[in-house]
Amino acid sequence: EIVMTQSPATLSVSPGERATLSCRASQSVITNLAWYQQKPGQAPRLLISGASTRATGIPARFSGSGSGTEFTLTISSLQSEDFAVYYCQQYNNWPLSFGQGTKLEIK
């Protein structure tokens, strides 16, 4: 089973600043990685698939990078609506697995 580890657990950033979230896989997942955003009381929403491809309707300030075991989600200029919990998910191997999440909070 591939274990996904996200860091940090909580990230405090001011609006307008850049946020960088990390996700590490216990073995290579190539670029078979997705990122999701979840706000309180809501279902997760797909942001990124294939490690770097934005989903339909996702603003350009969200970008994904990485391959193998190290991945990054960058939000270039934080808007108020971006404060949420972010999860990475690998789909290279069964069972599918998620990271434990990074909570992005307002500084």
CA 98, CA 10: separation in Å to the nearest integer?
16
Q: Do 19 and 8 form a contact (C-beta atoms < 8 A)?
A: no
* Position among 8, 10, 39, 50 found at the interface with other proteins (CB under 8 A): 50
Give the distance between the most distant pair of CA atoms in the chain. Answer: 38
Nearer to other proteins, 60 or 94 (CB): 94
Nearer to other proteins, 16 or 95 (CB): 95
Does the protein bind other proteins through residue 23 (CB under 8 A)?
no
Task: Sort residue 77 into left (φ over 0), alpha (ψ -120 to 50) or beta.
Answer: beta
* Binding footprint of other proteins on the chain (CB under 8 A): 1, 32, 34, 36, 38, 42-46, 49-50, 55, 87, 89, 91, 94-101
